[in-house]
Amino acid sequence: MLPDIDKLSLAQQVAQMVVVRASGYLFDHQIQYPAWEPPARELIHWVQDLGIGGVIFLGASAGELAIRIQQLQNQANIPLLIAADIEEGVGQRFSGATWFPPPMALSAIFRQDQKLGVHYAEKMGELTAKEALAIGINWVLAPVVDVNNNLDNPVINVRAFGENTDEVKELACRFIRGAKKYSVLTSAKHFPGHGDTAIDSHLELPVITHSQTRLTEVELPPFQAAIASGVDTVMTAHLSIPVWDDQLPATLSPKILTGKLRQQLGFSGLITTDALVMGAIANRYGANQAPVMAVEAGVDILLMPVNPEGAIRAVCEAVENGRIERSRIRSSVERIWQAKAKIAYKKTEVSNLTYHIGNLESRNTAKEIVQHSLITHGSLPLSPAKFINLTEVNNSPSAEIPTGLRNLIVVDDSLNCPYINHLAPAICLPTEMGYQTQICDRYHPHPIDLPDNCPTLLQLFIRGNPFRGSAGLNQPAEELLKKLLIYPYLQGLIVYGSPYVWNKFIPLIQPDTPGVFSYGQMAIAQETALLNLFGR
């Protein structure tokens, strides 16, 4: 039950506009990012004493998060928005739940079969919302409606539904349609379009130099379509767009958020900032000044302010000294109340999670999307015995599996890699066929021996990700891979993640060398790609 807005103090109203980040793990000693994730005592203080509006979670298993959310909702005086960046399904962030391939996989299907592509987009939205709600997440921070028309984009990349406006519009709207079958909020991001930049706004402020005409024809239509489809929230982009505002980035610009989004596009739902801790904003405008400027611009939700208590105080002071109208705050809280009224706040039945999380329907849907979006090259299937003289290596002409096979895996970050462990199909399936695994970190590549007569299966896990600053490889890693791709004993290549890396490297290998590309990197993607490679 939501209280009468007018019975809340100014500070309590402003606090409802604040959504903080927290760890999904139950215990403080499990917190992985202490600069951003408060200990339990501080989080409870923010929820109970300050009355913040919501929490965005990261980390933990789906089951553990369900307990955490239930505890927090029980402690809150006003029901909380519970958000998560789950563009690829709940399993992208919380283990045990379903992890779908990134949205760009759907455009690969859509271009071959439009009916099948939109079917999977709607199903992905539906299953994501269903699993989210089952554990208590009521705000799905998806879909991304940016048009990724810059292949060097380090932050959007395969998170987008595609590279052209029409496919993004169609697929994003069907995702929204699927998600709306459940009582969760959706979010179109990142307004007014983060697809054509080679700079990661987590680190720096990108500048979009396009004309008014270009923005109207390419970047804005997916947002217009999402709004028409009933998207509940729109997330801002930390971008500078001089043709619209040559002074302020979109997140802090009244011209862009109020003028374009509210007045021109007619959006009446919640406007939320992207995370205010991101470098593009925090490094330029300060912990407390940025929230005030965002509210002035027309924002309703201040997502992840650097200092939540400081942000609340700063906005209250701006109201008290006349910089911001009191009615401006009330308008935002009214919209927050409208959004919260749509959300189902029911007790999470942890004992029933196994029926709703990662079930057969969800896993099969993820697997089908992986399978239908695969790209293959060369002569399939791969025979592990290729390039090997069984008599010379094994001293046994009748041996079925040769020795001396190498499974070389290159990953983004070997110390923080959620999809590679000793049970990962990328390791287990080749091991069953006699391969020995070697793992190399693309950011810190060590010399790789290229001896004669060492048949090598090369598996690359490379995609654009926030905070990486690059969509591809650094120079040492790229030079290493180029050597491997022309290595005469390269048996096969699998690329997981970036189609741009695949398109860059595939011309370097022999025309008949077996190759497979998968948009997904998770276990289902690994298994599907390897089974296709080996014809099993």
pLDDT, position 517 = 98
The answer to whether residues 350 and 44 touch, using CB atoms and an 8 Å cutoff, is: no
Query: Could you tell me the CA-to-CA distances from 11 to 83, 219, 277, 333, 435 in Å, in that order?
Result: 22, 37, 21, 12, 62
Predicted confidence at residue 393, as pLDDT, reads: 40
202 is catalytic: yes
| Confidence class for position 401, pLDDT limits 50, 70, 90 | very low
Q: Does residue 215 surpass a pLDDT of 60? A: yes
pLDDT confidence of 443, banded at 50, 70, 90?
Answer: low
* 279 vs 229: which has the higher pLDDT: 229
Identify the pLDDT of residue 413: 76
Q: What is the pLDDT of residue 397?
A: 40
Same fold for the domain at 16-359 and the one at 374-534?
Answer: no
Instruction: Spell out the alpha helix ranges (H) of 186-301.
Output: 212-214, 220-228, 254, 279-285, 289-297
189 forms beta bridges with: 144, 235
Where do we find the tokens 């054509």? 196
CATH of 374-534, one of 2.60.40.1930, 3.40.50.10870, 3.40.50.10190, 3.60.110.10: 3.40.50.10870
Q: Is the pLDDT of residue 231 over 50?
A: yes
pLDDT at 468 over 80: no
- Cα separation, 409 vs 258, in Å, equals 48
pLDDT of residue 389: 46
- The pair phi, psi for residue 477, each rounded to 5°, is -65, -40
Torsion-angle region of residue 298: left (phi > 0), alpha (psi -120 to 50) or beta? left
- pLDDT at 346 (0 to 100): 64
Kindly state the helix (H) or strand (E) to which residue 23 belongs, with its residue range.
Answer: strand 18-23
Q: What is the CATH number of domain 16-359?
A: 3.20.20.300
Pick the range with the lowest mean pLDDT from 77-81, 194-198, 394-398, 503-507.
Answer: 394-398
Residue 29 has pLDDT above 50, yes or no: yes
Whether residue 380 has pLDDT greater than 60: yes
DSSP 433-461: TTEEEEEEESSSPPP----TT--EEEEEE
Other Cβ atoms within 10 Å of 21 Cβ, number: 20
Q: pLDDT (tens digit, 9 = 90+) per residue, 233-277?
A: 999 999 999 999 999 999 999 999 999 999 999 999 999 999 999
What is the SS3 assignment for 140?
strand
Residues 106-135, mean pLDDT to the nearest whole number: 97
Tokens matching residue 188: 């179109």
Mean of per-residue pLDDT scores for the chain? 91
Residue type, 90: V
Q: What pLDDT shows up at residue 386?
A: 56
Residue 479's pLDDT is 79
Residue type, 242: P
Write down the catalytic residue from 119, 190, 194, 202. Answer: 202
What pLDDT is recorded for position 398? 39
pLDDT band at 151 (very low <50, low <70, confident <90, very high): confident
Can you give the residue ranges of every domain in the chain?
16-359, 374-534
The pLDDT, as a whole number, for residue 480 is 78
CA–CA separation, 348 and 367 (whole Å): 27
- Specify whether 274 is catalytic: yes
Indicate the range of 315-319, 379-383, 411-415, 529-533 predicted with least confidence.
Answer: 411-415
Sheet containing strand 405-411, edge to edge, reads 375-377, 515-518, 490-497, 456-462, 405-411, 435-441
Least confident of 125-134, 406-415, 452-461: 406-415
pLDDT for residue 396 is more than 50: no
Average pLDDT over residues 196-215: 87
- Residue of 196, 274, 300, 412 marked catalytic: 274
Q: Is 55 helix (H, G, I), strand (E, B) or coil?
A: strand
**Structural contact between residues 391 and 442, judged by C-beta atoms closer than 8 angstroms:** no
Cis peptide before 192 (omega within 30 of 0): yes
| Average pLDDT of span 164-182 | 97
